[in-house]
């Protein structure tokens, strides 16, 4: 518990993070690799690193997450991981037979300085990689960036390996880089594009991989995930829509700079305005150039709910913590609801985050505290100095919510103590309805638990 946290901030911490609102790069890279069909994520480092990353993803998704490791010991730590990775690739293809192996590095292999492309080339020459099988890699040292950076690096590296040879013939399709979001969010993002009549290639796509059905047969490589053949066509698409500055823009920027595929940079489509922007971007490529009635109806339901329930959100003080793309989108949505985000933090680095949140909040909440590379300890200190009405963040925020008796909504990654998030989207108009339900019910439940008896109403 965090009962020992005090409001005293007389000593400034510059090089220490306590309960940082992030985790390390390899987790993001592993998640992105799972969104490629027939892919085996491979951790080039020690067994402990791979075990932690797999267990963290497994606990969030409540699904078994596959991955392999180079199993570094003292010898590899001194002499390098060439032999370990070569043997690992031979074992992986002979035992698990994936279509593609996605290698990501760890702190240990980065400090050693292993040259992954050279090792893979030698492994192929020695016959450790069968004909027709693929191996890609990305660099993800844990001592810089965050899981969001690792996700972005893996997606970009996948394109560099697989979409490096365009045919020169533009295909009638859009690329979508969905960001570090749930399988349900990726499914909803595709569904909206389908309603608009727009053909898309999404990379990565974990829908159907980490939210699949139980049919009595274990499938190491489920039906979901982006097909390698489709990834190869992304350099010939009409354009790319990147959803989220931190997780998605690097891949879109590479396609634009190297393959001349125009990029549209949007924020995660959470809430009315951000979803409108996504729909409008799709409309430019829709066959009929208009929004279907079904989407108009979904939008109307969300607007109606906001209109009906706005009085419960009006001027509510809210603290938001999480991944930068999620936090930016949530801040926009809270503004639409009439709430006041007063404390807004992320654990990931990147100056764009503070600039963008200041753009959103300075006209409305000029005294809001906004910080990147932040941690839950400092957020807790702020909450002790001036309490909030609602806390929004990942599972680690539950300790603050319990100590301060604050309504709490779990949002983002990781969510380790609740279920359903991988099945129910937060993006799109339907996702907005779900978020309003979660936030409003948390506020009303708290009121019922804490109000005086004379205010304990049957109807709210």
Both tokens assigned to 208: 């159907």
Whether 227 contacts 250, CB under 8 Å: no
Neighbour count for residue 268 (Cβ, 10 Å): 31
φ, ψ of residue 330 to 5 degrees: the values are: -65, -40
Name the DSSP class of 38: T
SS3 450: helix
Q: Which residues contact 199 (CB under 8 A, 6 or more apart)?
A: 172, 173, 174, 193
CA atoms within 13 A on the CB side of 400: 33
Distance CA 61, CA 414 (A): 9
CA dihedral (10, 12, 17, 21) in degrees, to 10, reads 80
Which stretches within 39-136 are classed as H helix?
A: 47-61, 74-79, 82-95, 107-112, 116-125
Q: How far apart are CA 224 and CA 289, in angstroms?
A: 29
Q: Specify the 3-state DSSP secondary structure of 375.
A: strand
Let me know if 111 is a catalytic residue: yes
**What tokens were used for 63?**
């699904």
Distance in angstroms (rounded) separating the CA atoms of residues 411 and 253 = 28
| Per annotation, catalytic residue among 107, 201, 209, 272 | 107
Region of residue 290 (phi > 0: left; psi between -120 and 50: alpha; otherwise: beta): beta
CA 133 from chain centre, in angstroms, equals 28
Catalytic center residues: 107, 111
């Amino acid at each position: 518990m965090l009962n020992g946290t005090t409001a005293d901030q007389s000593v400034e911490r510059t090089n220490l993070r306590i309960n940082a609102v992030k985790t390390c790069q390899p987790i993001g890279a592993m998640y992105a690799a799972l969104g490629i069909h027939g892919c085996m994520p491979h951790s080039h480092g020690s067994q402990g690193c791979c075990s932690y990353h797999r267990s963290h993803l497994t606990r969030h998704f409540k699904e078994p997450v596959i991955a392999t490791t180079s199993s570094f010991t003292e010898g590899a730590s001194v002499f390098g991981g060439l032999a370990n990775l070569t043997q690992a690739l031979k074992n992986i293809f002979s035992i698990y037979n994936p279509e593609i192996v996605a290698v990501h590095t760890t702190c240990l292999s980065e400090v050693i300085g292993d040259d992954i492309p050279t090792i893979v080339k030698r492994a192929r020459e020695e016959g450790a990689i069968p004909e027709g099988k693929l191996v890609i890699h990305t660099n993800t040292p844990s001592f810089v960036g965050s899981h969001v950076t690792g996700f972005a690096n893996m997606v970009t590296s996948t394109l560099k390996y697989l979409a490096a040879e365009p045919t020169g013939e533009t295909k009638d399709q859009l690329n979508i880089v969905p960001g570090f979001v749930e399988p349900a969010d990726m499914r909803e993002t595709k569904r909206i594009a389908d309603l608009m009549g727009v053909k898309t290639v999404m990379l990565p796509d974990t829908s159907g991989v980490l939210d699949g059905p139980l049919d009595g047969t274990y499938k190491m490589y489920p039906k979901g995930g982006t097909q390698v053949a489709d990834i190869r066509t992304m350099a010939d698409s009409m354009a790319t829509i990147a959803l989220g500055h931190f997780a998605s823009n690097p891949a879109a920027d590479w396609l634009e700079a190297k393959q001349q595929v125009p990029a549209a940079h949007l924020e995660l489509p959470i809430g009315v305005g951000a979803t409108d922007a996504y729909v409008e971007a799709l409309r430019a490529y829709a066959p009929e150039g208009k929004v279907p009635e079904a989407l108009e109806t979904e939008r109307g339901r969300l607007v109606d709910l906001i209109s009906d329930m706005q009085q419960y959100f009006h001027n509510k003080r809210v603290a938001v913590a999480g991944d930068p793309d999620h936090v930016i989108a949530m801040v926009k949505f809270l503004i639409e609801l009439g709430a006041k985000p007063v404390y807004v933090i992320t654990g990931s680095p990147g100056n764009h985050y503070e600039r963008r949140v200041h753009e959103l909040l300075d006209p409305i909440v000029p005294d809001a505290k906004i910080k990147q590379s932040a941690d839950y300890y400092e957020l807790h200190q702020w909450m002790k100095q001036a309490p909030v009405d609602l806390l929004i963040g990942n599972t680690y925020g539950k300790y603050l919510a319990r100590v301060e008796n604050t309504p709490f909504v779990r949002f983002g990654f990781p969510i380790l103590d609740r279920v359903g998030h991988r099945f129910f989207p937060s993006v799109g108009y339907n996702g907005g309805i779900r978020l309003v339900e979660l936030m409003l019910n948390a506020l009303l439940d708290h009121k019922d638990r804490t109000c005086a008896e004379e205010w304990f109403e049957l109807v709210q």
